[in-house]
Amino acid sequence: MEQCQCLRNLYTYRLELKADCTQTKMRPTVSLLFICFLALLAPLQCGTSSSADDRRWLVSLVDLVELDYVDHCEQRANAAWNELTGNSKGLATKLERDKAFGMFVCQQTTDIKSSLTAHALSADDNVLRRKVKLLLQPGDTLLETEQWIKLVTFGDYALNKIRFATNYDCGTASNCTLRELHYNLARQQDEETLHRMKLSWENNLPDLHDYLEHVLPLLRNASKKNSYNSVEEYWDALGEYEGAILKARELWENVKPLYLKLHKYIALRLKGSDAVGKTLPVHLLRSLTGDDWSNLIESLLPKHAGIYQKVHANLQLKNLGGVEAFKQAAKLIKTLNLGDADPNIWSESVFNSTCPPTLVDWCKPNKVRAITCKDVSIANYIEAHEAVMKIVYKQTINLHSNNTYILREASRYSAVYEAIPGFVSLLSLNPHALNNAGLFPLEIFNYNPNQHRLVLQLIMALRDLPKLNFYLAADEWRIKVLMGAIPYAKIPSSWSDFRKNFSYIETSDGDFLGDPYMVFNKPFIGKFMGLILKYQIYQSFAEELVSDESDLLVHIAENNDRLVDAMMQGYGTVWPEMVSDLLAKREYGLEYTGLTDYYKFLDEYLDNQLDPSTDNEGSDDYIEPVINEPVPEENEIPSSAENQESVKETEKVETHEDINDNVIDTDGSNSKFIETSTVGVLEIKNPVATGDHNEVNTKEASYNTYWWIGIAVALAVVVILIAIIARKRHNHRKQLERQRRDNTRA
């Protein structure tokens, strides 16, 4: 009797599921298989009630639930893909799928809860325990159906409208698309036009009041449904880091000085010294939400920015945008031995849409596709590395077959999942990576490594520092509003107030609504922590290098176990527990020093630029300490007097224009930089000693009666020079080593 009852329950269970998914037709084979499987187990379950049976029951239920999740994921992915590629029914089906998903998740959670008996989980059952926890606390999907529908409707509509609107103002005669808006924003010079462009974008954002009244407060309800008292606690749980916001604040306090310096430097370069320390309107940063200032790079370059010009030009020349950028990223990832990107990505992704890349995940082995733009820029190139690494990350998780759905796709915000792809995007501008990609030759880099590093650091800083600030601002502000810390009447303008004080940016009241994480009420905390962590990972590998000239990529490729191990675990382990291994046990938690050490050159450069005590600072185009005749070359790069002679002497030698950028601009008070620049100069003098320049001198001397004397003197000079060079180089190398050790010591 009991057994029959039990079996009947099982079938009812399946039928309920089916009813749930009437529109979403399950795969019959899998379902049938599992019904049989469960039917076999059923007698055990009904007859006795040992803990082993309870466990087996729970395990099979979890397996079944996970398979159903995969079905839902596939259908939602298809719908999302149709929507993203502009299918006319795309948005409607996406909404249907997203709504159905919420109901499905609630049902599954209830089922698992009801079969969770006291004996089902033994003490050492970590994996099962973890799975059950993730399934029982799925996040916002636990909202009441009608509230869930409100959330996804708001988000889906908002993003669809932003993506497909064609009424943006690109500063040209006719209206344009989002892709064109991004493209033109990077190039527009006129401040007024930039402002108009940004306003045209804001017109396509969803209604701020609707958001504040009906969407943001859903977070309170979602917290309760997941059994948390406050949104902050709830987000800590989703980010799996206790006191995450507090920790983020602490980290930020230490990154803030660098952020402020960068901000001041931008104000100085764009608006002059009067603007330093004041807020900047976001359109002046050529950004929509102010979370990325990369478009400013050309206005901010230091004097010797040959590396930027070259990389920029080579990207265009090689057309490294869209699919080509993705393929180049895959090459780097292969070099790092982190895996091969599934080749179907190239044929099945869409590369003529809008940047930044959006990934769609079918929750199946090796089915993630990207939708992105074909525009060529350094920012898109870096972004492509992050996107491809995310895809490879998913592939890596998938390779480990016992990493089931919920351990791959949990609704958690893992910093490790953000940090490893972010780390690879940092490497995209590594000198060896630039060399391998044919973007900038390593020999040239090595003439003035510090000068070039400074430029590369500036490029990265313009992306990452504003992001870090935006992420924290967005999370803190939402928590403040939800805690009631802001008077009701002031809420509508509180975002722009917050941004003014916290970010020194003038934004509009609702421009955050252009961000997918904001419209779907997702926390940024995982991304914030990921940005911090990626610099720590970088540092952990960089510290292991024997010398500055060694190839970091090769070193990582040979020692990438810790990266691969972390990726393989998926969501099986809470991410903070992986941090120590990921950093080769040098650090055990998040530290800001990885980031601040990475930006050492930039930091010192900004200090010099902003220091009002030196007379040659503070102007838009500051002057070098001891100069200044332009070097007679196609591209006039002034160089310091110190190397002027050598430059003249080397004119006849085949050199690269960038060889001349060998001095880091400095006010002369910074001994480190002076030392650094000396090496650059001396390295150039090398060819002088052996090169054709001697022949030139020789010929001139042959008209002279003191020909032999001349030769002898010249030889003597050369010998002395070589001796000095050798000695200075030796000293400098020692100094560099010492400096490097100091820098990298956290």
- Which parts of this chain interact with ligand NAG (CB under 6 A)? 127, 147, 167, 174-175, 214, 217-218, 221, 352, 402-403, 407, 572
Distances (CA, A) of 336 to 266, 423, 583, 591: 35, 12, 17, 25
356 preceded by a cis bond (ω within 30 of 0):
yes
Per residue in 534-549, is it b (16+ CB within 10 Å) or e — as a string? bbbbbbbbbbebeebe
Q: Quick check: 220 and 234 in contact, CB under 8 A?
A: no
Minimum Å distance from CB 50 to ligand NAG? 23
- CA distance linking residue 409 with residue 403, whole number of Å: 10
Q: Quick one: how far is CA 625 from the chain centroid?
A: 37
Q: Quick check: 492 and 509 in contact, CB under 8 A?
A: yes
> Of 181 and 407, which CB lies nearer to ligand NAG in the complex structure?
407
Minimum Å distance from CB 299 to ligand NAG? 29
Six-digit token string for 137: 């606390």
Minimum Å distance from CB 31 to ligand NAG? 24
> Of 177 and 697, which CB lies nearer to ligand NAG in the complex structure?
177
H/E element, 194: helix 191-202
Minimum Å distance from CB 288 to ligand NAG? 17
Q: Is 418 annotated as a binding residue?
A: yes
One-letter amino acid at 558 equals E
Minimum Å distance from CB 575 to ligand NAG? 14
Q: Quick check: 648 and 634 in contact, CB under 8 A?
A: no
Taking every pair of C-alpha atoms in the chain, what is the biggest distance, in angstroms?
Answer: 123
- CA distance linking residue 589 with residue 622, whole number of Å: 41
DSSP state for residue 625 in the 8-state scheme: T
> Of 201 and 541, which CB lies nearer to ligand NAG in the complex structure?
201
- Output Rg (C-alpha) for the chain, integer angstroms: 30
Minimum Å distance from CB 352 to ligand NAG? 4
Minimum Å distance from CB 222 to ligand NAG? 9
Distances (CA, A) of 420 to 14, 63, 401, 538: 40, 29, 21, 10
- CA distance linking residue 144 with residue 218, whole number of Å: 10
> Of 149 and 270, which CB lies nearer to ligand NAG in the complex structure?
149
Cβ neighbours for 716, distance < 8 A, ≥ 6 positions apart: none
> Of 220 and 256, which CB lies nearer to ligand NAG in the complex structure?
220
Six-digit token string for 135: 């399934």
Minimum Å distance from CB 107 to ligand NAG? 19
> Of 327 and 331, which CB lies nearer to ligand NAG in the complex structure?
327
Minimum Å distance from CB 734 to ligand NAG? 48
> Of 29 and 402, which CB lies nearer to ligand NAG in the complex structure?
402
> Of 127 and 545, which CB lies nearer to ligand NAG in the complex structure?
127
- CA distance linking residue 51 with residue 154, whole number of Å: 45
Instruction: Write the DSSP string, 484-500.
Output: T-S-GGGHHHHHHHHHH
> Of 167 and 628, which CB lies nearer to ligand NAG in the complex structure?
167
Minimum Å distance from CB 219 to ligand NAG? 9
Minimum Å distance from CB 65 to ligand NAG? 16
> Of 127 and 574, which CB lies nearer to ligand NAG in the complex structure?
127
Six-digit token string for 658: 């960038």
Q: How many CA atoms lie within 13 A of 287 on its CB side?
A: 24
Q: Quick one: how far is CA 193 from the chain centroid?
A: 29
3-class DSSP state of 505: strand
DSSP E strands: which ranges in 47-147?
none
- CA distance linking residue 421 with residue 565, whole number of Å: 14
One-letter amino acid at 29 equals T
Residue by residue, what is the 3-state secondary structure of 442-461?
A: HHHHHHCHHHHHHHHHHHHH
Cα dihedral 567/418/415/417 (nearest 10): -20
> Of 574 and 623, which CB lies nearer to ligand NAG in the complex structure?
574
Q: Quick check: 404 and 569 in contact, CB under 8 A?
A: no
Q: Which residues are annotated as a binding site?
A: 418
Q: Which residues are annotated as a binding site for Zn(2+)?
A: 418
